[in-house]
Amino acid sequence: MSDSTPADGKIEFGLAIRRSDDIAGQAQEIEALGYDYATTGEHVFFHVPVSNGFISLAVAAGATTTLKLMTSITLIPLYPAALCAKLAASLDVASGGRFHLGVGVGGEMPSEFEACGVPVRERGARTNEALEIMQRLWTEDDVTFEGRFNTLSGVTLAPKPASPPPVWVSGRQDAAWRRAARYGDGWLPYMYTPERLAESNEAIARYREDAGNPTPVTPGLFIFFCCHPDNDTAISYAAERLSKQYAQDFSQLVHKYAIAGDPDRCVARLNEYIDAGARTIVLSAASPMSYIEQSERFMADEVLPRIREGQA
């Protein structure tokens, strides 16, 4: 497994690419604003337009120089394991070792599983088996594997990454905690309160210790945000966007699962998650398209420097 721990224990921040067009320009802006990662999610079908993580980050890789690139997340069970290993290895090589693979099981859109010929009920088992195969293909030659969903007969992946891309496991439940402990370099939950984050970090550390693995899992977090000079406007913007994105009413969930407010509120809320253990925080703008760029800049200019100064 690769080392995904931030240097010197500092807090790292990522920003999710928000659109499928002008990815190169967005990635360059993310790098210029001082974020550590550009990330992107994916779905085959969803409530709002969503691109493919590997394709988007390949474009971002060619447009940037130091920015780390993370899928947040790749829907592992929708890929043949060997193909996913190949795509990840190719992107890591092309980007000069800047790629991080965020993984999850999905399932909130059963129609995309049906369309891809993958039973939703198998998504966890398929993901676990794929992660085992991918690690072997990245590090071994002549790989033979006979599993429930995959058969490999003495195959060798080339080119291999110089070192395996760090794997960030996402999810919300205990099964994801166990997956992170077994296969992950980092833990990237979403829709979490600080209390739930602390609980998950403790459980993952315990599962990791039980497995005899002394290398800690880097605690992370994926969270939606809206930063605005007016606190009420930020909350309204975030609720509106997330309600549309997830096809449910988020008006009572914003304070629980997002960071929304003026800079003081955003600093305070981020510090709650940092106190709960988060060291790599991926931010995803939740606001009308007309305000997203301003929100991202406002966060970078007015909030993140205060967090970094507090950690110095």
pLDDT in tens, 50-70: 999 999 999 999 999 999 999
Please give the pLDDT value at position 8. Answer: 59
CA neighbor of 100 nearest in space, from 180, 25, 179, 3: 3
Q: Is 70 exceeded by the pLDDT of residue 5?
A: no
Domain boundaries, the chain: 7-311
Buried b (16+ CB within 10 A) or exposed e, 206-242: ebbeeeeeeeebbbbbbbbbbbbeebebbbbbbbbbb
3-class DSSP state of 190: strand
Q: Note whether 205 and 24 are within 8 A (CB).
A: no
Task: Report the chain's mean pLDDT, rounded to a whole number.
Answer: 95
pLDDT in tens, 88-99: 999 999 999 999
Please give the pLDDT value at position 48. Answer: 84
Question: At the topology level of CATH, where does 7-311 sit?
Answer: TIM Barrel (3.20.20)
Average pLDDT over residues 203-208: 98
Average pLDDT over residues 256-274: 97
Distance CA 310, CA 312 (A): 6
pLDDT-based confidence at residue 311 (cuts at 50, 70, 90):
confident
Average pLDDT over residues 163-187: 97
pTM of the model: 0.95
